[in-house]
Amino acid sequence: MINRKLLIASTSAIYGKPYLDYLTEELDQLYNGIDNIVFIPFARPGGISYHDYSDIARKFFSKLGKKLIGIHEYDNMREMLNECEGIFTGGGNTFVLLNSLYKHKLVEPLRKCVLAGIPYLGTSAGSNILGISIQTTNDMPIVYPPSFTALGVVPFNINPHYTDSDPDSKYMGETREARIKEFLVFNNVPVTGLRDGSYFIINDTEIKLGGIHSVRIFERSTKPYELYPGSDLLFLLNKNE
């Protein structure tokens, strides 16, 4: 029996809407009955401080009647994870996030925590680290982590902010799809291209796609294809489990 209560979102905000606003209903459900949420601010979007980043998240959750505390405020972060009720890992730079988790020896404790069924919200980089590796991030490698191996609480990789290529573009760099296909040449791990506004909800062994977009699935030896809200996604969870 696998325990998991995950909300895996591509982005923390959709265009023109306030921070986390579009996820309000889902978050009411995810964190139902929970008063205290531990926030992991390590991804530091734009290099923001842990303090300032936690304040942004705190502001939103106070509206839901939840208390949010940044994990950096604890002397013993590992112990704290053992006792926490709910977790939110915000977006930013995925390399910086994973590097900090390794530095503070939090990868394994966080993994255990998630697999013990503690409700977890990830947005962007915070979603990315739930997969097998961070090797399908869009971020720049601005720090060198000791490994690209991530939590692996889902048996696939995530590409947040997935974006379709513009057929009229004169950009000569690789498209997102080309980059993910390159990943598959070197790694045999399915990749989910999660568009902004889309999210997975995983309840133990159930998975559904939320939001209005389809998700693009990339697998070795298969043409990329789309799955829609309402589609059966269960094969994604059964891949390597």
**What are the catalytic residues?**
124, 139, 161
Closer to a second copy by Cβ: residue 112 or 161:
161
Contact between residue 209 and residue 200 where contact means Cβ atoms under 8 Å apart:
yes
In sequence order, what are the residues at sequence separation of 6 or more whose Cβ sits closer than 8 angstroms to the Cβ of residue 107?
Answer: 98, 101, 150, 151
Q: Where do contacts with a second copy occur on this chain (CB under 8 A)?
A: 10-16, 44-47, 92-93, 95-96, 124, 134-144, 147-148, 160-161, 163, 170-174, 178-183, 185-187, 196
What is the phi/psi pair of residue 94, to 5°? -65, -35
- Minimum distance, C-beta of residue 96 to a second copy, in the bound complex (Å): 7
3 state SS of 35: coil
Closer to a second copy by Cβ: residue 60 or 66:
60
Contact between residue 43 and residue 89 where contact means Cβ atoms under 8 Å apart:
yes
- Minimum distance, C-beta of residue 138 to a second copy, in the bound complex (Å): 6
Tokens of 4: 């998991």
In sequence order, what are the residues at sequence separation of 6 or more whose Cβ sits closer than 8 angstroms to the Cβ of residue 64?
Answer: 24, 27, 28, 31
- Minimum distance, C-beta of residue 72 to a second copy, in the bound complex (Å): 17
State the greatest distance between any 2 C-alpha atoms of the chain, in Å, as a whole number: 53
Contact between residue 132 and residue 155 where contact means Cβ atoms under 8 Å apart:
yes
Closer to a second copy by Cβ: residue 13 or 207:
13
- Minimum distance, C-beta of residue 83 to a second copy, in the bound complex (Å): 31
Closer to a second copy by Cβ: residue 12 or 89:
12
Contact between residue 128 and residue 134 where contact means Cβ atoms under 8 Å apart:
yes
